[in-house]
Homo-oligomer: A and B are copies of this chain.
Amino acid sequence: MLAFVNGPTIGRVTAETTHPSTEPAAAERPRKRQARGERRIAQLLDAAGHVFAESGYAATTTNAIAARAGVSPGSLYQYFPNKDAIAAALAEFYADSLDELLAPFAALDPAAVSLEAALGASLGPIVRFHRDNPACLALFIGGNAPGHVMDLQAPLMARTHARIEALLALYAPELPAARLETGAAVTLAAYKGVLPLLVEAEEERVPALTQELGDLLLGYFDRLLRP
């Protein structure tokens, strides 16, 4: 649990140290945060992750998050301006983490590494991440996310789509652009569809299911690349 508290600057709303000149209008006093405060933020985000994963965004109440974190509602609102911001802070961490986990696909040498090998190596950590942070799927896949979460989700999906498209182009240079685009969209959709299965499965079934996810994608690639 709490996979992100060791992560990079999550929920750190620290205004970057700007010039000491008075900001024009929307500037807030750069609050100096104590260690206690940082801990509370981690507690709150951890609690939020659990509650979002259990109930989805809409059904979770801020009071439930505060209660789960062992904190009063007032304290919650000392660190987050509103409910959206809590989800957004989580989403930002999730998006960054996924970007990192998906990076290996960016530059692959088709001659040296087979798609099979690349998927086999990368899928495991991705699956593990989603199992450790089930709220990620709840926020990103579960559709009805609030405004600020969508601001992070849509670009992440676009980047992932582009990554898949580039991957396909790498391994099948002669595929027409339209089919490339469609193939990437279908691959991403199938991937998103199977992930919930992996997250809800019992631990012992995870390796086999991960293998199956790889087979699903590879089987589609086979049909895509060889007409």
Contact = CB atoms under 8 A, between A and B. Distances in A.
Nearest to A143: B142
A56 interface: yes
Interface residues of A, number: 34
Interface in A153-206: 182-183, 185-186, 189-194, 196-197, 205
Contacts of A138: 143
B197 A144 contact: no
A220 interface: yes
Nearest to A137: B143
B208 A215 contact: no
B197 A216 contact: no
A189 B193 contact: yes
A212 interface: yes
Contacts of A194: 186, 189-190, 193
Contacts of A222: 219, 222-223
